[in-house]
Chain A
Amino acid sequence: DVKVTQSSRYLVKRTGEKVFLECVQDMDHENMFWYRQDPGLGLRLIYFSYDVKMKEKGDIPEGYSVSREKKERFSLILESASTNQTSMYLCASSPHPGLAGVGEQYFGPGTRLTVT
């Protein structure tokens, strides 16, 4: 079974702090994704990566950056956390469509981040 793990289930940070959210997958997937989930808004894509050191902006990249130094690990960075970044953050991975399967995404359990 594909396993996607996230470093924390719950996190509380102060405004202005630098925050790192870590995600690791064990299935050698090419693609990795970061979403935030807010009530009534569904999932919104922040960034994704299709290879090591490669990244693409999603729908809401402002205030975030990412890092992918190794294939299995994808980090989301909040350079200076703000209260409007309080949310559930979900990481996902998928094989590249066409190489294996049709690119369905596998999700981690999520990190609920509160910024006070």
Chain B
Amino acid sequence: AQSVTQLDSQVPVFEEAPVELRCNYSSSVSVYLFWYVQYPNQGLQLLLKYLSGSTLVKGINGFEAEFNKSQTSFHLRKPSVHISDTAEYFCAVRLSGYSTLTFGKGTMLLVSP
């Protein structure tokens, strides 16, 4: 069975600083990878997804993620964060041939002025 580990439950950062949210997964078969964002009192919104091909994936709101197969990682990055990026971020994996997603436990990004 696959699993997803988000190594940090909270990441505090100052506005305009760069940030990296870490995600590692375990699976022996092909996977699709996703990052979702959840703003307070809202549902989850897709930030970006890795399907195949280029390992660097660009998403909405200036976020990007890099797929590293050898390290089974899919870390999310943004070069300069805004206060409005304060939210919870979830990494998720879907096995090829399956419909369900397995989610990590989430990382709360706290951006302060």
Find the B residue at minimum CB distance from A56. Answer: B100
In the complex, whether B7 has a CB less than 8 A from a CB of chain A is no
Find the B residue at minimum CB distance from A41. Answer: B105
Q: Which residues of A contact B36 (CB under 8 A)?
A: 107
Within 8 A of B (CB), among A66-116: 90, 92, 94, 96-97, 102-110
Interface size class of A (residues with CB under 8 A): 20 to 34
In the complex, whether B97 has a CB less than 8 A from a CB of chain A is yes
Contact indicator A102/B49 (Cβ below 8 Å):
yes
A-B contact count (CB 8 A): 54
Instruction: State the majority secondary structure of interface residues on B.
Output: loop
In the complex, whether A58 has a CB less than 8 A from a CB of chain B is yes
Instruction: Compute how far the CA of A60 lies from the CA of B43 in the bound complex, rounded to whole angstroms.
Output: 20
Instruction: Compute how far the CA of A58 lies from the CA of B100 in the bound complex, rounded to whole angstroms.
Output: 9
Q: Which residues of B contact A103 (CB under 8 A)?
A: 32, 94, 99
A96 partner, pick from B45, B49, B99, B106, beta carbons under 8 A: B99
Interface centre among B32, B94, B101 (most CB of A within 10 A): B101
Contact indicator B46/A109 (Cβ below 8 Å):
no
| Nearest CB of chain B from residue A52's CB, rounded to whole Å | 15
Instruction: Compute how far the CA of A110 lies from the CA of B42 in the bound complex, rounded to whole angstroms.
Output: 7
Interface centre among A33, A97, A105, A108 (most CB of B within 10 A): A105
Q: Which residues of B contact A43 (CB under 8 A)?
A: 44, 90, 103
